[in-house]
Structure formats: C-alpha cells, structure tokens
Amino acid sequence: MRFQVLTIGGRAPHPLTGEQAAAADRLDEIVETGAVAEELGFDAYAVGERHAGPFLSSSPTVLLGALAARTSRIRLLTGVTVLAVLDPVRVAEDYATLHQLSRGRLELVIGKGAEAGHFGLFGLDEGLQWEYQAEKYELLRRLWREEKVTWQGRFRPPLTDTTTVPRPYGGRPPRVWHGSATSLNSPELAARHGDPLFSANAIQPREAYARLIGHYRERFEAYGHDPRTAYVGAGSGGLFIADTTQQAVTRFKDYYEARVRQTHKPHLEGRPGYNTPFHTVEDAVADGPHLIGSPQQITDKILGFHAAYRHDLQSITVDTSGLSLPEQIDQLRRFAEEIAPVVRREAPTTLWQTPEPLSPAEPTRH
C-alpha cells in the first residue's frame, strides 16, 4: 500500500467555536503540511480543486507550484482537477509546467467535481457534465502525446496544428487517474484508456464504491489491458487517532456531529455523494469511511477497505478534524509510525515501486 495526504483547502468556520483562519495562514498550512508529509515518508500529497463553498483551493496549480519548490521526493497529485469545467489547452499548459517544475513528480486525478455549483459559475450546463469530461479528456491526452494537433469538438473552438508548451517532463505525459464517486462514467473512461481509478470512498457506504471499482476492473480487462496495471486509489473521511477507540469517540464526537450538520446540503438531499448517511460518530466508526479510533482500529478498517477494493493507494485527510496544525502533524506522525508500516506489509503493491515510465508517449500525428 502507498499513502497520500489530501487537502481540499477547506476554510469553513469551526462548527463548535465559529473560529476561522485567515486565508493567508490557511494557505501556509497547506504548504507546510505537504513538506511535513514528505519528511514523514508519505508517498504523495494531493491538493483538491473547488470553485464553490468555503474553500481556498480554486487555484491548485499555484499551491502545487509552492509545494514543488518546498519538496524534492514526494509525488504531487490533484484531488481532483475539475476537467469538466476547464479548458483542456490551459490544463495541458499549466500541469505540464508543474510536471517540469517537479521533475516528473506530478500526477493528475481528474473528475467532474463534488460541488454542483461550479457548472453555473463557469456558464456550463450541468446536464452535460459527462460529455464535457469525456471530450475534454480525449483532447488533453492528445495535447500531451502529440505535436501539431488538429482537432474539432463540441465544447471549444477547433485547433489547427497546435503544440502546447511546455511539453511534459522527459517527453512523457503525467499519469492521469480518474476520480470516481457515484457514477459508472469515470470508471468506464478510465478502463477504456487503461488509466488508474481513484475512488472517493468518502461519504457513501463501502458497497457503493466496491460496485464502481468492480465495474472498472471488469471493463479494464475487457478493453484488453493488463489487469495487473489496474491501479486503484481510495479516499477516506477525516483522520482522528487516539490511544483507544473509546477515547477517539469521546474526543471527536461533538466536533464530528456538528460538522455533519454544518456541511449538510438540504437542496441535494437524495443525490448520492453529497450528504453523509453516517450522522453520529459511532456510525462513522462502525460503518463509515472515516478513520477514527485507535491505531489498531484504523489499521483494521484500511485493511477492510483493501479486502473490498484491492486498492494500491490510501488517501487520508487531517485538516477536516478541527485540530490545530501541530495536532494535525502529530496525527500524521502517528499514522506514519503506527499504522502505515503494518498496512504496507499486509497489502503490498507494485504502484510506484520503481521509477517506471509514466504513460508512454504516442506517435505524433500530422
């Protein structure tokens, strides 16, 4: 198993105290946490992208640029790049620049995003979200693999003999994962291209994510790809480690349940992926994706995820737990020392085992 720390740059008021960090301080925390994650031996650090709600992650390329300057080993991912609302030419340019700055450490996770409001913000029709996603990804693939691209589609002006610059580092495009939360569209697109899948594993019951991953693996092989390369990542709810599970429940209960109320979206009630069904901390510990409890409890839960998903990369989040930055860093340290070594041993993977080449460049078409 490999391990990633994810932030989506949340800046909502604390649900119990109402306190809210200054924007500049919160952005500093994001960069500092990435540097600490590298020191602690995590494999990757991911920055999300949100364009609606109380978040500071509307410009992940800027944050990842700062992280590239502060780090030297850790892989830098997105979580997710909301390709459905973006121009693929701009995405190709921005992320190839980051690929160069990080000397090949960048990987994308693309998706249509978890905030319904961003389609209207960009003047787009939410009903076409999957058509946007598929067409824009097809163009992005070509822009990174070919020079002098000539292309025509539905959602942006045509291109003629277009070469985006800079080119990806080392002449090979970044690996692209497909973020999957509720729909079979992303697993299908990932499988078609032989790309890895990243399951949200954040709000719904485990069975819902297992269904999406199962579809991905079935279709991946049906498209003729080697099933050994069908890599899967999985997210999780927030992390809260205590010496015993009862201590974790006692200390985290008020915060967790207040945050569930704070983040509830009544207008999206009934739509999967937006509101958690785990309303109490006891529900979250027993059946939800949150990693709350003793080191043993959390180890067992991740291995339970692995039994259902056979995933290779586990993502954790510490900045949604209401803790100060020193407390968040202590949570990461405990995870790295008490949980990660056991899970690495029990769930080996070939992901990032060697500095293997990323997706091979395809022949240039003229």
Would you list the DSSP string of 129-197?
HHHHHHHHHHHHHHHHH-SSEEE--SSS--EEEE--SSPPGGGSPPPEEEEESS-SHHHHHHHHHT--E
Would you list the DSSP string of 254-265?
HHHHHHHHHH--
Distance CA 350, CA 230 (A): 11
Predicted pLDDT at 236: 95
- Note whether residue 363 is domain-resident: no
- Note whether residue 357 is domain-resident: no
Read off the CATH number of the domain in which 293 is found.
Answer: 3.20.20.30
Token code pair at residue 352: 């990032």
- Note whether residue 298 is domain-resident: yes
Instruction: Calculate the CA 67 to chain-centre distance.
Output: 16
- Note whether residue 354 is domain-resident: no
Token code pair at residue 273: 């992926």
- Note whether residue 72 is domain-resident: yes
Predicted pLDDT at 354: 60
Distance CA 312, CA 231 (A): 6
How many domains are there within the chain? 1
- Note whether residue 237 is domain-resident: yes
- Note whether residue 352 is domain-resident: no
Q: Quick check: 126 and 120 in contact, CB under 8 A?
A: yes
Token code pair at residue 124: 């787009």
Q: Which domain holds residue 327?
A: 2-346
Phi-psi region at 104: left, alpha or beta (left = phi > 0; alpha = psi -120 to 50): left
Q: Model's pTM, two decimal places?
A: 0.94
- Note whether residue 156 is domain-resident: yes
For residue range 319-355, list pLDDT tens digits in order: 999 999 999 999 999 999 999 999 999 999 999 986 4
Tell me how crowded residue 13 is: count the other CB atoms within 10 A of its CB: 12
Give the SS3 label for residue 241.
strand
Distance CA 240, CA 320 (A): 10
Give which of 219, 245, 238 is closest to 230, Cα–Cα: 219
Mean pLDDT split into 10-residue runs, the chain, 366 residues: 97 94 97 98 97 93 98 97 97 98 98 81 92 97 98 97 98 96 95 98 94 98 98 96 97 93 82 83 94 98 98 97 96 98 98 59 37
**Total length of the chain:** 366
